[in-house]
Amino acid sequence: MSVEQLKKDIIEGYRFTGGSIIMGAGRIGDEILTDHLVRIPLKTLNRHGLIAGATGTGKTKTLQIIAEQLSTNGIPCLLMDIKGDLSGIAKIADENPKFIERHDKIGLPYIPDSSPVEFLSLSDEVGVRLRATVSEFGPVLFSKILDLNDTQGGVISLLFKWCDDNQLPLLDLDDVKKALQYLTNEGKDAIKAEYGSISSTTVGTIMRKIIELEQQGANVFFGEVSFDPDDLCRLDSSGKGMVSILRVTDLQDRPKLFSTFMLQILAEIYSTFPEEGDLDKPKLCIFIDEAHLVFNEASKVLQDQIETIIKLIRSKGVGIFFCTQNPTDIPDSVLSQLGLKVQHALRAFTAKDRKAIKMASENFPYTTNYVVDELLTSMGIGEAMITALNEKGIPTPLVHTYLRAPQSRMDILTQRELDDIIFRSMIVPKYQNKIDRESAYDILSGKIEEAQSEQIQEELRRQNEMARPTSSSRQEKSTFEKVINNSTTRSIGTAVAKEITRGLLGVLGIKTTTRRTTSTRKKSVFPWF
């Protein structure tokens, strides 16, 4: 195909009438087409996207370019920052002659700019603390996170139902464990009549799954105050979209927690955002950097759930973009749903690498303009192959693009700059302190202690009954009792008692007799004598 025809394809494919973001200029060989800019319409950005490329090819900066332009157009973004190198979007780019030179080649003026930023955290990192209660997950999603089978998932559904019926809030993992403990011990008889019995073996398996999640630090995520997804959709005073950066640099070795959060926030957005249909621009765009960490560790059910949400969340006005090293890191079922694909260079050092590149080249629309697998290994830093959807939803021709430079800083913020942004945050105080209200753990702990106390009292009563002497045990009398109860002893005792009584009364009788002799007119003191 001639250069003229290729130029025509680029012009026709990227001539949009509505709002758009500019990625750079088309490139053919060594020629940069300064009068043919590569644009992506805002209207189609809720069709999701992929940014892929080998380490060091510039894919993270491409993510930064897209996010800062979305912010400029009043579209909030959520960036999941695994490597910790996206914070610079909050500051204007430093002067760099290379940026101006690049933009001169593209035919665009270079205007440094910054975006309003909010820092979020899942752990002890500074920023807005993200939390969610177990109840907000619901039994189905919670079971999928734990990778439970149907039987185990049924127990979780029963648990949620029983807790709802008995006003027992499930806020964190301790609540779930305590509820399971209660239902398999003290409360098993009560639940059996209404809900059915629960296998202790099944409960043991669920407990081990929960402990596995706890080992990855999930305790810091579950709880209150729950994060409100609407806080991701804020604009600043100038109308720019807020760029929320989730700092998860400490979660690289804990992919289970990372995927748990990602799935929960997507499910929460889907359940709370109203249906929007096709908007002129998205309400929110979410960028998941190092997405292979999610999919490599995700179970089949978790991948299925992600695929389902990807298909449905578009109608909520939300676009999701995966950033990873190779397109093959993303499951085909998810990859097929993506409307935007930005492919940076790939490296071929082994036969396995060459095979992966061949597979990656087949993920793009068919084109005769380029030998895709060869171009994938020959592009330089700051170049990418791009295909998107035009305003009618039709895939545009694949084009080799010479990318623009970020308007914001390409380096990270200093600690002082980071602290200053967090200090001025409007929502950090809202989520700073964790609420520890009465929940299932506290209520059931009291019931368990009460039941255990009753058991202890019952055991003490039983032991007292066993220790109390019975009639049979008193048949054998002591020597003293035998002596006292002997008939001879009783006779002797009676005689002695009589003599003593007679002696005492005899004295009294003598005195009485004397008094009666002295004065017979006086009544006797003892009339019975």
| pLDDT tens, position by position, 47-70 | 999 999 888 888 889 999 999 999
pLDDT per residue over 188-229, tens digit each? 777 777 777 788 888 899 999 889 888 877 777 888 888 889
The CATH code of the domain that includes 78 is 3.40.50.300
Q: Tell me, yes or no, whether 457 lies in a domain.
A: no
Distance separating alpha carbons of residues 349 and 345, to the nearest angstrom: 13
Give the end of a domain, one of 406, 426, 446. 426
- For residue 374, tell me if it sits in a domain: yes
Distances (CA, A) of 185 to 36, 141, 189, 199: 72, 26, 8, 11
Query: What is the three-class DSSP state of 477?
Result: coil
What are the tokens at 334? 């998810």
Whether 49 and 187 map to the same domain: the answer is: no
143 within a domain of the structure (yes/no) = yes
Contact 75, 282 (CB under 8 A): yes
Residue range 402-422, pLDDT digits in tens: 999 999 998 888 889 999 999
β-strands 284-289, 128-129 pairing: unpaired
Domain count for the chain: 2
Which residues form the domain of 162?
134-219
Query: Is residue 525 one of the residues assigned to a domain?
Result: no
316 shares its domain with 351: yes
Is 397 within 8 Å of 10 (Cβ atoms)?
Answer: yes
Shared domain for 272 and 184, answered yes or no, is no
Q: Which of 219, 243, 273 is the last residue of a domain?
A: 219
**196 shares its domain with 93:** no
The answer to whether residues 123 and 139 belong to one domain is no
Q: Are residues 175 and 109 in the same domain?
A: no
Q: What is the DSSP string of 46-106?
A: GG-EEEE--TTSSHHHHHHHHHHHHHHTT--EEEEESSS--GGGGSBPPP-HHHHHHHHHH
Joined together, the tokens standing for residue 94 give 């430093």
- Structural contact between residues 247 and 418, judged by C-beta atoms closer than 8 angstroms: no
Q: Are residues 110 and 255 located together in one domain of the fold? A: yes
pLDDT per residue as tens digits for the range 334-367? 888 889 999 999 887 777 778 878 877 777 777 7
Whether 512 is in a domain gets the answer no
Q: How many residues does the chain have?
A: 529
**Domain contains 488:** no
pTM: 0.76
Residue 66 lies in a domain: yes
Does residue 110 sit in the same domain as residue 168?
no
pLDDT value, residue 529: 38
CB of 54 within 8 A of CB of 427?
no
Segment holding 202, helix H or strand E: helix 200-215
pLDDT tens per residue, range 454-481:
566 666 677 777 776 655 444 555 555 5
For the sheet containing 128-129, what is the strand order? 31-41, 20-28, 399-403, 383-387, 340-343, 49-52, 318-324, 284-289, 77-81, 243-247, 117-121, 128-129
Structure tokens at 322: 């995966």
Asked if residue 182 and residue 106 are part of one domain, the reply reads: no
| 388 and 312 assigned to the same domain | yes
Q: Among 426, 449, 464, which residue terminates a domain? A: 426
Same domain, yes or no: 205 and 236: no
Q: Specify whether 289 is located in the same domain as 415.
A: yes
The beta strand positions in 317-423, using DSSP E, are: 318-324, 340-343, 383-387, 399-403
Instruction: Identify whether 436 is part of a domain.
Output: no
**In the prediction, which pLDDT does 189 show?**
75
What would the mean pLDDT of 138-164 be, rounded to a whole number? 86
